[in-house]
Structure 1
Amino acid sequence: MSAAPASNAPASSAVDAELAKFAAMADTWWDPDGPFKPLHTFNPTRLTYIRDNAAERFGRDIGQRHPFAGLRLLDIGCGGGLLCEPMARMGFDVTGIDATEKNTKIAAVHAEQSGLDIAYRCATPETLVAEGRTFDVVLTMEVVEHVADVDAFLHSCGALVAPGGLLIGATLNRTAKAFALAKVGAEYVLRWLPRGTHDWKKFVKPSEFAAGLRAGGLAVDGFAGMTFNPLARTWSLTRDLDVNYMIAAHKPA
């Protein structure tokens, strides 16, 4: 029997078990009280961080109706489009990719119902790198803790940022506090997430995230923590990176 021909397809950062996990929940992306409730609750905080960093990077006035018109944005691991849609409303030309086809189909239907023109694809960042694509803004929000190879994934993310462009990432820190709050608390006590959603050992420290982006040719601009106030039931940007945090980086022009 002859050997199978070698494949020229780029290596994938996707993990089959992770894809199956999120495919099982895909129908509930837009249910504010469903399995993705945490994303709905802290989406305004994420959007503020993305908007403000993009406005500073590109000199845009957020008081305008579509302040980011003319800029291309890629959302890696877009899920059901919870970030893509508000980004499109701000004027970005949005592409959303996800390794789970069911997610992109649900996202596309919801965008059409919302009257938004968003390009969704079932793809990994490696696919777009192989195509030579670049974007002014690249988002990788709550994705890196689910990939097979963090450094390889971040290198691909960096390759997709155009010169002078911006990357915004978000994930969970690998700390005892994050284990207690984001793993045990969120999944077993408060039941915000289905059990098994996260593997604490795959949480990423800020130093590791930054090192991966620098290896991919980006310069790190800074970090911000996201902290939950259980009394007010609101999220806010803080300096506390112990649990949820975001990172901003740019590619030198």
Structure 2
Amino acid sequence: MQPNSTTIDTEEVAKFEAMAVEWWDPNGKFKPLHMLNPCRLDYITSQIAAEFDRDLKTAKPFTGLRLLDIGCGGGLLAEPMARLGATVVGADAAAGNIPVAQVHAAQSGLNIDYRNTTAEALAAAGEQFDVVLNMEVVEHVADPATYLTACQRLLKPGGLQICSTLNRTAKSFAAAIVGAEFIMRWLPKGTHDWNKFITPEELYELLRDAGLDPVDRKGFVFNPISWTWSLSDRDLAVNYVTTSLKP
């Protein structure tokens, strides 16, 4: 891969840049992420703690770990990772997201290195991380295989990547597109392209081809009665998350 090559899909970036000012509005266009965030954080923190033998009961259990949140948006994951002690770089291809994230981090008293850049550019610069968070990004890039290879290059040997995305099923079309975009109107119409959704088997193959070892996967399941999310070992039909390691 050439140093200046990129998997950025400019139309996808433009969609999220247009919504940048709403990142921290829990009732705005990113309401689904705000609702999902506690469940995502439970999974992320438990996986990092298990791999790096950290005690989540301590004040800053991730001290000493360098973490990249690729596709960081407004910082919904970067901020809690910084509070847990990690040295955090937040990267996003949408330039409009960066000042929003920077201002909110400053208001929160957090030191986070936010950059308008790509995984490919960071890899070409030789950046290295203990952890890469790659959440709800892979379904928006132009070339998932090349993108995941760049993410693998960003990990130190023994490093951990957590990657979440949407499964390509009839249920995901009904939930993520019909439900979220047309009925609930949580997201602007056209935010997701169902044809870009990736099955767990496809993602595992992509991860292995990129040089990573997938070790875990769970479903994120929404309960419409309690309006809460939970982890599932069995139901990966809509949203799901994976953990993989770099040998």
In structure 1, the partner of 2:97 is: 103
- Structure-to-structure mapping, 1:110-189, within 5 angstroms: 110-189=104-183
Deviation at 1:104?
1.0
In structure 1, the partner of 2:70 is: 76
Could you state the TM-score of these two structures normalised by the residue count of structure 1? 0.95
Q: Contact 2:123 / 2:154 at 8 angstroms: preserved in 1?
A: yes
Q: Number of residue pairs matched?
A: 245
Task: Provide Cα deviations, 1:55-84, integer angstroms capped at 9, x if missing partner.
Answer: 000000000000010000000000000000
Pairing partner for 2:187 from 180, 189, 193: 193
After superposing on structure 2, the runs of 4+ consecutive aligned residues of structure 1 that deviate more than 2 Å are none
In structure 1, the partner of 2:240 is: 245
- Percent identical among aligned pairs is 56
For residues 95 and 183 of structure 2, the distance between their equivalents in structure 1, rounded to whole angstroms, comes to 31
Deviation at 1:46?
0.4
- Structure 2 residue runs of 5 or longer lacking an equivalent are none
Write the letter of the residue equivalent to 1:18.
E
Deviation at 1:155?
0.8
For residues 100 and 216 of structure 1, the distance between their equivalents in structure 2, rounded to whole angstroms, comes to 25
Could you state the TM-score of these two structures normalised by the residue count of structure 2? 0.97
Q: Contact 2:3 / 2:120 at 8 angstroms: preserved in 1?
A: no
For residues 192 and 87 of structure 2, the distance between their equivalents in structure 1, rounded to whole angstroms, comes to 31
Deviation at 1:172?
0.3
For residues 216 and 132 of structure 1, the distance between their equivalents in structure 2, rounded to whole angstroms, comes to 17
In structure 2, the partner of 1:27 is: 21
In structure 2, the partner of 1:64 is: 58
Write the letter of the residue equivalent to 1:194.
P
Write the letter of the residue equivalent to 1:60.
R
Q: SS in structure 2 opposite 1:101?
A: coil
For residues 246 and 69 of structure 1, the distance between their equivalents in structure 2, rounded to whole angstroms, comes to 24
In structure 2, the partner of 1:233 is: 227
- Structure 1 residue runs of 5 or longer lacking an equivalent are 1-7
Write the letter of the residue equivalent to 1:72.
R
User: Larger Cα Rg: Structure 1 or Structure 2?
Assistant: 1
